[in-house]
Each structure stands twice: as structure tokens, then as C-alpha cells.
């Protein structure tokens, strides 16, 4: 039985999106997100009704694992739901694995979401030993600031994120200090208002962009380095806006349709 999907990207983070629940989402993700033997994507998304929000978002990484939250995926999901008529208006409540997340549509068609979960102190089983944001841990001879922004993130300050080797990124992501692995953001502070970020995602590898990673990088740059509370984040797939407003961190950026397809 064939199943249709629509492909979207949000600053280069790409997704296959379905309008209905999938009976075997992990298998679909592994097979069809493959860059050579499938359609190619960082993950899959699908919608189901919600009893506590306007709609519910489900996300699976390219390796078939469940992701609790994805900032770029969220924006692509909302854009898809608007295009399909599953959402309307300019303010939305979307149920995710980490709760209901509020978002808004701007006149320029960018979508901004408000993060209601930023945890700066973590305990097992997420980490081997308790951590605090401002007390970095030593991982592979580097200092990493650890926090939870809908999903687990590490922030490592470097001179040039694009000179970090695959081997180092993978080793940090899969360090035994993180029993379920971790998303690692390599960050260069360009100015008090600008960051350059490259993210190695668990279950995916290097990505063109990571929304939650951009927020995590902004939180650490502001709290630890003293950067401004409104930041432009440069990623390989474009630019994102991260800001602290009314005690909540926000992420704003674009989401664009790529095309339609059908799985046979």
C-alpha cells in the first residue's frame, strides 16, 4: 500500500511529513530517510489529533529513534499543517513529546516557537553524573556545557565549527557520560549578537541546522559568555533568530516546501 508525503526543509533540516499516523514509523524513517536508498531526510513527522492542543506532532530521527522535540521540525510541521488546512490563523498550540508548545506565524511567513522547557541541571539517566550548565564537563579533552532544551544538548565553544572532525563529533555524541547519547553544538561567538553553530545530532550526524541546538547555544552564550539576549544564529542552511523574552527562549525561522512524493 502506497503512502504519500510532503518534504519540507527548515534552514536545511529536511523532513518527510505525513498527514496521518504511521503503523511502522521507525521502519519508515530508516528506509526512506536514507540519502542513497531512500528519499533523503533528517527525519519524519506525522500529525494526529490532540485533546490538549490544536494538533499533535510526532517525530522520528533518520535512524528510527524517537526524538522528543525538534525546533526546525516543529516549524516545518506547522508550515505543512497550514498548507494542508490542518491549522489556521496565526497562533498555534502543538502537542509534542515534551508538552504543548506555543508558536506564532509572522507576516514574513517565519514561524516562532516558545520553549517552555529549558533545564540547566541534569541528573541520571540523562547523564552519568549530575551536571550544571555553568559547570562544564570534560568530554574528549573539551569543555561541554550540558542542558535540556526539549532534548539533550551539549555546547562546545570552538574557533571554527566547520573544522571539527567527524571523529571528534561522533566521539562526543556517543560518550559513555551520556547513556542515551547527546546532540553536540560546536559554537563560535562572532559578536555579542551573533553565533556560528554547527550541530552533530544523535541519530542523524552532521546537520545543516538544528533548531533546539541553536536555542541551546544561545542560552549558553548568554548565560556563560555574556552575549546579548537576542541573537542571530548562522547555520549552514541559513540564519535563525534566538531571543529571551518574558523569561522564555524563542526560536524564529523559515520553513519551506520541497516537493511531494509517494512511498510504494
**Which sequence spans correspond to the domains of the chain?**
3-112+254-263, 121-252
Are 167 and 197 contacting, i.e. CB atoms less than 8 angstroms apart?
no
Percent of the chain with pLDDT over 90: 95
User: DSSP labels for 178-197?
Assistant: STT--EEEEEEEEETTEEEE
pLDDT digit string, tens, across residues 121-154: 999 999 999 999 999 999 999 999 999 999 999 9
pLDDT (0 to 100) of residue 123: 97
* pLDDT averaged over every residue in the chain: 96
Binned at pLDDT 50, 70 and 90, residue 203 comes out as confident
**Is the preceding peptide bond at 30 cis, omega within 30 degrees of 0?**
no
> Do 3-112+254-263 and 121-252 agree at the fold level?
yes
Nearest Cα to 204, choosing from 101, 91, 73, 103? 73
Q: Spell out the CATH class of 121-252.
A: alpha beta
Q: What is the mean pLDDT of residues 178-205?
A: 97
208 φ/ψ sector (left φ>0, alpha ψ -120 to 50, else beta): alpha
The pLDDT, as a whole number, for residue 33 is 96
- State residue 1's pLDDT score: 62
Judged by DSSP in three states, 113 sits in strand
Pairing of strands 152-157, 183-191: parallel
Domain spanning 3-112+254-263 has what CATH number? 3.10.310.10
Residue with cell 551539549: 154
Residue whose C-alpha cell reads 563529533 in the numeric block = 169
| Contacts (Cβ under 8 Å, ≥6 apart) of 227 | 189, 192, 193, 195, 218, 221
63-73, pLDDT tens digit by residue? Answer: 999 988 999 99
Split at pLDDT 50, 70, 90, the class of 118 is very high
pLDDT of 263 above 70: yes
Residues catalogued as catalytic: 70, 210
Q: What percent of the chain has pLDDT over 70?
A: 100
pLDDT digits 0-9 by tens, 161-184: 999 999 999 999 999 999 999 999
Amino acid at each position: 500500500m502506497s503512502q504519500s508525503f510532503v518534504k519540507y526543509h527548515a534552514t536545511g533540516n529536511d523532513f518527510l511529513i505525513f498527514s496521518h499516523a504511521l503503523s511502522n514509523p521507525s521502519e519508515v524513517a530508516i528506509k526512506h530517510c536514507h540519502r542513497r536508498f531512500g528519499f533523503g531526510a533528517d527525519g519524519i513527522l506525522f500529525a494526529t489529533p490532540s485533546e490538549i492542543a490544536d494538533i499533535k506532532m510526532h517525530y522520528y530521527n533518520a535512524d528510527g529513534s524517537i526524538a522528543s522535540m525538534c525546533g526546525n521540525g516543529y516549524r516545518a510541521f506547522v508550515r505543512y499543517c497550514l498548507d494542508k488546512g490542518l491549522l489556521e490563523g496565526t497562533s498555534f498550540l502543538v502537542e509534542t513529546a515534551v508538552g504543548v508548545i506555543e508558536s506564532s506565524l509572522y507576516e514574513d511567513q517565519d514561524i516562532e516557537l516558545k520553549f517552555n522547557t529549558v533545564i540547566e541541571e541534569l541528573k541520571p539517566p540523562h547523564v552519568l553524573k549530575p551536571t550544571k550548565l555553568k559547570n562544564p564537563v570534560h568530554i574528549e579533552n573539551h569543555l561541554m556545557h550540558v542542558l535540556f532544551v526539549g532534548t539533550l544538548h551539549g555546547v562546545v565553544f570552538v574557533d571554527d565549527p566547520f573544522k571539527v572532525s567527524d571523529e571528534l563529533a561522533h566521539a562526543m555524541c556517543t560518550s559513555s557520560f551520556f547513556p542515551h547519547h547527546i546532540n553536540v553544538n560546536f559554537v563560535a561567538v562572532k559578536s555579542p549578537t551573533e553565533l556560528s553553530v554547527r550541530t552533530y545530532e544523535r541519530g542523524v550526524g552532521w546537520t545543516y541546522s538544528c533548531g533546539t541546538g541553536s536555542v541551546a547555544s544561545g542560552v549558553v552564550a548568554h548565560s556563560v559568555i555574556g552575549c546579548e539576549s537576542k541573537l542571530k544564529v548562522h547555520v549552514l542552511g541559513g540564519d535563525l533568530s534566538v531571543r529571551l523574552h518574558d523569561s522564555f527562549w524563542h526560536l524564529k525561522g523559515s520553513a519551506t516546501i520541497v516537493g511531494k512524493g509517494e512511498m510504494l
